[in-house]
Amino acid sequence: MLKVDRAILHVFDFDSGSTYLSERPLDLTVRATRSYVQRHLRKISANAESRHGAFAPESGFAAELQRYLAGEREFVEFSVEIAQWFWEELRRSEDLEQCDLLVADFTDTDSAGEKDVEFDGPAGHRFFSIMLLPRRQAFVHEVGGDANDIARVDATLPNPSQKVASYVLVDAESGAIDFHDKERAVGGERVSIIPERFLQCTSEASSHEVIDEVKVIVRDVAEEFGLEPAVEVGRVKAAVARSADVEESFSPAEVGRTVFAERPDVAERFEQRVREALLPEEAPVRRGVANRLTRSHKIRTDTGVEITFPSELAERPGYLDFSTDAEGRITITVGNVAKIENR
């Protein structure tokens, strides 16, 4: 469940050089408005491509955010200062893109519910979010008395199902940052203005990048020690999912020690590769993200056969077994099946 406590929209018009800074928050009692904001917030909260970071001690935004969260600053005033900063920075960009700025203060109880319903759950995690919403041209019909026409609209906001390329998500309790941004040409150099100039924070690999790298390492190590890569990658995915379900994070090295507990030599080689890849000791990953990235594993044979199976089955003998004959050919046995469906 996600409850939006406050949200405000500021409009930038780089063509005319004008800003339209709102003096009051959005009316969240309007169902369409509330739903639009909620759906965008859910999407960025669940984005596995979000990079992670921590504020530098000298971060000016971090200090002002703390003042706001402590009740020392008003939401609208704070959002206007944020909008003014982005306006000044973005207008210097050599590849200008029309956009609006959405600022939101919301609470996420980590419920599985996706419908737009009134919030009635327990207090959850509070977040502060900033999104740059790109505007697009669109065409609409105009109904006339005796003839219809087609008109162009230049201020269409992205659909809630679309990804947003630039955003900030700060956990109000821990100060942990999730963000996503793209490089822009500003003042003759390529910069990611959100982490480098606005947040002034570190930039660590996304959950998706860390999990992908772990899968590559597992596959390589399994092949090196004569183990079946499909089985070992599936086991690692299941271990990541279990860790994320409890801690909303996982340790790549610890996952290796758990999966290869009966093979210390393999576990040692895995940890060595993890260190060489400079993976973080602890990688943040939300439960929903971990479930989406690790719940299943897909393999494809050189004969064109594809098999997708729940990752947890890799740890359960008798469900999916691999054997290799003297000539190196692999036999895959699927067991404990009561019913087969055609899809």
Could you tell me if residue 48 is inside a domain? yes
Q: What is the pLDDT of residue 39?
A: 94
Give the pLDDT confidence of 266-322 residue by residue, as tens digits.
999 999 999 999 998 888 887 778 888 888 888 888 888 888 888 888 878 888 888
Last residue of a domain, one of 175, 199, 223: 199
Quick one: average pLDDT of 62-91? 96
Residue type, 179: F
Could you tell me if residue 9 is inside a domain? yes
Could you tell me if 189 and 240 lie in one domain? no
Could you tell me if 157 and 216 lie in one domain? no
Could you tell me if 298 and 150 lie in one domain? no
Could you tell me if 186 and 130 lie in one domain? yes
Alpha-carbon dihedral of residues 248, 181, 137, 14, nearest 10 degrees? 140
Could you tell me if residue 342 is inside a domain? no
Last residue of a domain, one of 178, 199, 220: 199
Could you tell me if 169 and 219 lie in one domain? no
Q: Is pLDDT at 177 greater than 50 in this prediction? A: yes
Mean pLDDT check: name the lowest of 162-171, 196-205, 305-314.
305-314
DSSP 120-132: -S---EEEEEEEE
Could you tell me if 89 and 176 lie in one domain? yes
Say how far apart CA 285 and CA 240 lie, in whole Å. 9
Domain count, the chain: 2
β pairing state of 166-171 and 125-134: antiparallel
Residue 54 belongs to domain spanning: 2-199
Q: What is the pLDDT of residue 123?
A: 54
Between 145 and 75, the higher pLDDT residue: 75
- State the average pLDDT for the chain: 88
Could you tell me if residue 28 is inside a domain? yes
Within 10 Å of residue 145's Cβ, how many Cβ atoms?
5
Could you tell me if residue 341 is inside a domain? no
Residue 90 in tokens: 């973005």
Q: Please tell me whether residue 288 adopts helix, strand or coil conformation.
A: helix
DSSP 160-178: TTS--SEEEEEETTT--EE
Could you tell me if 182 and 228 lie in one domain? no
Could you tell me if 231 and 326 lie in one domain? yes
pLDDT classification of 120: cutoffs 50, 70, 90: very low
Within 10 Å of residue 53's Cβ, how many Cβ atoms?
21
Between 152 and 38, the higher pLDDT residue: 38
Could you tell me if 306 and 212 lie in one domain? yes
Last residue of a domain, one of 148, 177, 199: 199
Could you tell me if residue 340 is inside a domain? no
Could you tell me if 195 and 302 lie in one domain? no
Could you tell me if 43 and 180 lie in one domain? yes
DSSP secondary structure letter of residue 91: T
Q: Is pLDDT at 31 greater than 90 in this prediction? A: yes
Quick one: average pLDDT of 219-226? 93
pTM of the model: 0.80
Q: What is the pLDDT of residue 134?
A: 92
Quick one: average pLDDT of 107-121? 52
Between 167 and 119, the higher pLDDT residue: 167
Report the candidate in 150, 147, 170 with the shortest Cα–Cα distance to residue 78. 170
Could you tell me if 150 and 32 lie in one domain? yes
Distances in Å between the alpha carbon of 21 and those of 8, 9, 82?
9, 8, 11
Q: What is the pLDDT of residue 56?
A: 95
Q: What is the pLDDT of residue 110?
A: 63
Q: What percent of the chain has pLDDT over 90?
A: 50
